Structure 1
Amino acid sequence: MPRIISYTRYSSSKQAGGASYSRQVEAAKEWCEKNGYTLDERDRYEDLGVSAYSGKNAKKGDLFTLQSKLQSGEIEPGTILIVEALDRITREALPKAVNLLMGLANSGLTVVTLSDGRKWDTETMEDLGAFMTSVLTLYRGHQESEQKSDRVRKAFKKHRDEGLQQGFGSAPGWLTREDKHSPWKVDEPKAEIVRKVFELSAAGYGSKLIAKRAKDEGWPPPTRLREESEGWHAQMAGQILRNRAVLGEHQHRIRTHEAHAQSWAGFTVGEPIKDYYPRIISDELWNRARASIRTRAVAKRRDVHYYNVFSGLMYCGLCGAPIHRKSERTGHSHAQLQCSDKLAGKTECKTMAANRADPDILRAIYEYSIGALGSSSAAAVSADVEALEVAITEKLEECDRIADAVAKTGGRVQSFIKKSISLEDEVEALKMQLAEMREQQALLPANTVFDDAFLTEAMAYLYIPEDEAAKEKRAELHLKIARVVETIWLFSYDLAYIQYKDGAMQPVMLQHKQLPSRVNPNAKYHKPPKPRPVPEKPYWRAAMAGELLLPEARRASSFRKKKLKTLLLEYEEEAEERRYVDA
């Protein structure tokens, strides 16, 4: 007696509460009873809420598992597969649908469709009439889905074109409404949590640290979670911080299976719509948080307690490798500043006690900030913003002129098209630069980045372990330093050479190596220690003479930069191939 298995599928999770599932299961059992077979219920194949129109069930669903078992021999030839109809297996376009059905039959499987009582196997498919029937059935299933999809696309397009919200039921988790005709309302408790996320980000917290705090304090997630979700995680915090819906904006997207095949997020359609949702944060808070995120991107944050306030900024003055901070729970130095190449055994660069470098470097940054980053800095940023706005306006006017020229020539002049593409790229680059400048502008207070209590508070909290208040102060300190400083080159016990964001360079003499004295001057036979000669500082002397050569700081390349380099290489290779073919 052949083995009998069944395959059950419906397309949408909304159908879970209906009769589709139970109808298919019961129909399979009735067929087995009627024909004297026993259904193997231990090996069920079910794709619930999975589309056959997109082919997802055949690519990664239970149907894919079934095909894999057929190929491996786990499901023996002669097995009968019961389905309600062929469109439960596939609704893809005809070539793929026919190949799928033929593949199942050629693997030795007999497909029984309950809707018409037919059997589909290699013997049946050799009959021209039966084969044409299967083709027509598969074509009808695809056309039905295609027509439904087309109606939905047209309905959504109409709502987009008319600016209606009724057709779009999804919204951020901090918004609710009674029905699709009602306006969106803010869920204040959830909105307050979103504001906390932005405030913490603006204060220097990364996504992981925000998620950890949310878990520790039991914040309810302000997003729409799936049932299997475990709540807060770093990705959730990052998604909130990137979501412009907090400003009331909405970006329409095409989310068909064709679009999802190209990108998991689908394709954007049109320009972002302002005031689509109720706004829950200000532009000022958004810009502060975005600037903070951009600043923290100087290095991957592995130091979750922010002990290294120079993270991503300090490099070895001898070889250019990043300086790592190795914290110490005992001893007088609190931490050691070590060249990463020295840690890897590549160089013999000296290590330095952190407490002999931190005070001098922080004092230098503070003094420079007070002297050079006053109100004139804010004025300079405002002037740069205005200049960028003018440049963007001029580029857009030129784009319009080029577009007119392309229209008049009917696209026959390739140079116009290339120029138009080039101008659009330039405009996008200028817009990104303008956004960065506005973020920087939002960060500048009336006078300076640092206040008078900066140095005192910094030293007080710098070395306190496992204290939440100290960690917050260090995170804020790191953010302030990163907004001012570009690079710090460290020459252990000799010199720190600071390069600021505005291009200014500042040499800082560091304290020489000295262990704390264990001499007790009150002892009975105390003898004052002999004075020690002050060590030479050759790098400080070279800096003062203008002869110091600084190595290039070996910053970690971001994933985006690596990807762009790869794309550029591919583009150059394609261009070279085209030149070869043309020649």
Structure 2
Amino acid sequence: MPVAHSYIRMSRPEQMRGDSLRRQTENARAWASKRGITIDETLRDIGVSAYRGKNRTSGALAAYLKMVEDGRVARGSYLIVESLDRLSREAVLETMPRFIDLINAGIVIVTLMDEQEYSKERLTADWTPLILSIAIMARAHEESQTKAKRILASWDKKIAAASEKLVTRRVPAWIEVTDGKMILVPKRAETVRRIFRETAAGSGRRAVVKRLNADKVPSFQGKDGWQESYVAKLMANRAVMGEFQAYRRDASGVRQPVGDPVEDYFPAVVTAAEFHAARLAVRSRTAAPGRRGEDVTNLFLGLAKCAACGATMRLENKGPRSAGHRYLFCSKAARQAGCTNDRRWSVTEIEPKVLSALRNADLKGFGREDDAGLDAAAAALTADLDDARVRRERLLALVEDGDVAAVQRYKDLGKRVAELEREVGKAREAADAAGSSPTWQERSRRLAALIRGMQEAVGDERRSIRTEIAQLLRITLARVTFGQHRIAGHYHDARLRYRPDRVVARPGEALAAYQVTLFDDAPVILDDADIAALEDADGEGSRPLPARWRR
């Protein structure tokens, strides 16, 4: 049985406080009552824009169009709207096909403002109402387009003056605006600093959120406590350093950065070093996901690899009855899948030896490329981006004059600009992270202090120390390889490539330059010359035994 579906749309939720909702609802009810038709008032898109078709792709209108397409709306039913611009404010070529599809499906579109009814029967007999509908669609799109241009122009002026005055009163949750000035909210600012401290020390999002909720720290969003998703967003939000980045939506509705970020716009809540330390910790955890256990049982989680085949070293924990009996062994050898490295390394025995060796290792020769090189790379990409933007602006005039060939070049340059913007962002982050990360010497000193503290710590303090030690290992080492007799640490370095089965140096580079022996218990191997030396030795004339180590 045909029914009348009343479709109500408002671009902003604030319009609910005005007269728009009452007007649309009462007019639709009056029309249905006059016709004696049952009305369905469930079709509502509140706070949904029609300029780029969001209501058509994901709103209540999208659900209605799907019902019509599936035949779940009876032919002869009515779709009541205040005006055609409630259905869409897209360009005519985008709007008209959907309008015709509804008409051909037997739906009668009713517009209350101008009292028009668009049905297949009427338009078949008289096509002139189509001209009116096209004009209304075109006017709606032009109005939205003009409004959008005005808003963008106003926004561009605000962005240009961002370094001197407040752009918008919408600020991060740890900041408030008082007398036109932005200031930090003390308790919230301290909460943000706590999150970054704990993350940089090696705690994952789950652990951070659990502690915040356990300590009854007020959440910045709602009353349901802290969520992992919010902490994840906070870790990527450069506003904590005081940086402001303007965004606008492109033609497809996707948010894109506009212009360069404005530094020192917001009051900074953490330093650049603290921000990048936490970001580095987050990235390093991706190599070792999962829970760490009550005592961070495996400090080498995500790092331990078999020296023979490259497979992950598996941890076997015998449990509380055999305290301390934890072993690392090659997962491939355990499955008898072709690896001959059957050495089982006792974690209790090797852990202090490896940490001691790492603490005392000479790290001066290891590390990232110099900061100047990273800064130069970011500067070069920025220059390319500026050049691409200039060339695209020059093409715009040709595009507006109708040059068909220029249109494709303009689109290609648009893609190149977007690609360069992403590359510049990554390059800047790499340079910032390199400049803010601790030196190898600082890491060694911190590791030594943590090892000393771990010897007497218990409970939560011990877990916290072991968490930070594991984090230091992950940001310092790319992997730790376990062989039959030798444990080696391979340091992060831009000149190395890390494959699943081995570490590969660039051509002309010696791989040994990027690794250090952390433990070795290989037996002495004597050759004929050594044996002869022993046989000839007598008393004080004996020579020291040559040390030959099997590798």
Q: Shorter-chain TM-score: what band? A: 0.7 to 0.9
For 1:384, the equivalent position in structure 2 comes to: 370
1:331 equivalenced with 2:331 (yes/no): no
Distance change >3 Å, CA 342–CA 381, structure 1 → 2: closer
Counting only pairs closer than 5 Å after superposition, residues 410-489 of structure 1 correspond to structure 2 as 431=428, 433-441=430-438, 444-445=441-442, 448-451=445-448, 454=451, 457-458=453-454, 467-489=459-481
Q: Is the 8 A contact 1:245 1:277 kept in 2?
A: yes
Distance (whole Å) between structure 2 residues aligned to residue 349 and residue 312 of structure 1:
22
Counting only pairs closer than 5 Å after superposition, residues 121-270 of structure 1 correspond to structure 2 as 121-126=119-124, 127-163=126-162, 165-178=165-178, 182-222=180-220, 225=221, 230-255=224-249, 258=251, 260=253, 263=254, 266-270=255-259
1:281 CA drift (Å): 1.7
Distance (whole Å) between structure 1 residues aligned to residue 518 and residue 443 of structure 2:
28
Distance (whole Å) between structure 1 residues aligned to residue 333 and residue 482 of structure 2:
14
For 1:106, the equivalent position in structure 2 comes to: 104
Q: Is the 8 A contact 1:124 1:131 kept in 2?
A: no
In structure 1, runs of 5+ residues without a counterpart are 411-416, 511-536, 549-583
Distance (whole Å) between structure 1 residues aligned to residue 139 and residue 343 of structure 2:
76
For 1:561, the equivalent position in structure 2 comes to: none
1:55 CA drift (Å): 0.4
Question: Which AA in structure 1 matches 2:35?
Answer: N
Counting only pairs closer than 5 Å after superposition, residues 500-579 of structure 1 correspond to structure 2 as 500-501=491-492, 503-506=514-517, 508-509=519-520, 548=551
1:166 CA drift (Å): 4.7
Per-residue CA shift, 1:216-246, capped at 9, x if unaligned? 2222234xx4x6x844222211221221211
1:365 CA drift (Å): 3.4
* Structure 1, 134-143 or 326-335: larger mean CA deviation: 326-335
For 1:340, the equivalent position in structure 2 comes to: 331
Distance change >3 Å, CA 120–CA 231, structure 1 → 2: farther
Distance (whole Å) between structure 2 residues aligned to residue 402 and residue 97 of structure 1:
37
Distance change >3 Å, CA 489–CA 120, structure 1 → 2: same
1:428 CA drift (Å): 7.5
Select the residue among 246, 264, 279 that pairs with 2:268: 279
Distance (whole Å) between structure 1 residues aligned to residue 367 and residue 308 of structure 2:
34
Select the residue among 335, 355, 359 that pairs with 1:369: 359
Q: Is the 8 A contact 1:45 1:63 kept in 2?
A: yes
Distance (whole Å) between structure 2 residues aligned to residue 139 and residue 425 of structure 1:
36
The percent identity for this pair of structures is 25
Question: Which AA in structure 2 matches 1:364?
Answer: V
1:368 CA drift (Å): 4.1
For 2:297, the equivalent position in structure 1 comes to: 307
Q: Is the 8 A contact 2:196 2:274 kept in 1?
A: yes
1:547 CA drift (Å): 6.3
Per-residue CA shift, 1:26-47, capped at 9, x if unaligned? 1111112222223235xx2111
**SS of residue paired to 2:328:** strand
Distance (whole Å) between structure 2 residues aligned to residue 55 and residue 14 of structure 1:
20
TM-score (norm 1): 0.73
Distance change >3 Å, CA 477–CA 89, structure 1 → 2: same
1:351 CA drift (Å): 6.9
Distance (whole Å) between structure 1 residues aligned to residue 326 and residue 526 of structure 2:
27
1:81 CA drift (Å): 1.5
1:32 equivalenced with 2:32 (yes/no): yes
Q: Is the 8 A contact 2:298 2:315 kept in 1?
A: yes
For 2:495, the equivalent position in structure 1 comes to: none
TM-score (norm 2): 0.77
1:490 CA drift (Å): 1.9
Number of paired residues? 486
Q: Is the 8 A contact 2:359 2:448 kept in 1?
A: no
**SS of residue paired to 2:265:** coil
Distance (whole Å) between structure 1 residues aligned to residue 202 and residue 4 of structure 2:
61
1:81 equivalenced with 2:79 (yes/no): yes
More strand by share: 2
Select the residue among 472, 484, 489 that pairs with 1:498: 489
Distance (whole Å) between structure 2 residues aligned to residue 239 and residue 69 of structure 1:
37
Question: Which AA in structure 2 matches 1:481?
Answer: L
**SS of residue paired to 1:184:** strand
Q: Is the 8 A contact 2:450 2:465 kept in 1?
A: no
Question: Which AA in structure 2 matches 1:134?
Answer: S
Distance (whole Å) between structure 1 residues aligned to residue 368 and residue 455 of structure 2:
33
Distance change >3 Å, CA 453–CA 107, structure 1 → 2: closer
Question: Which AA in structure 2 matches 1:479?
Answer: Q
**SS of residue paired to 1:270:** strand
**SS of residue paired to 1:451:** helix
1:431 CA drift (Å): 4.8
Distance (whole Å) between structure 2 residues aligned to residue 540 and residue 120 of structure 1:
96
Q: Is the 8 A contact 2:524 2:548 kept in 1?
A: no
Distance (whole Å) between structure 2 residues aligned to residue 52 and residue 202 of structure 1:
43
Q: Is the 8 A contact 1:290 1:439 kept in 2?
A: no
**SS of residue paired to 1:450:** helix
- CA RMSD in angstroms comes to 4.0
**SS of residue paired to 1:51:** coil
Distance (whole Å) between structure 2 residues aligned to residue 397 and residue 65 of structure 1:
44
**SS of residue paired to 1:5:** strand
Distance (whole Å) between structure 1 residues aligned to residue 440 and residue 13 of structure 2:
46
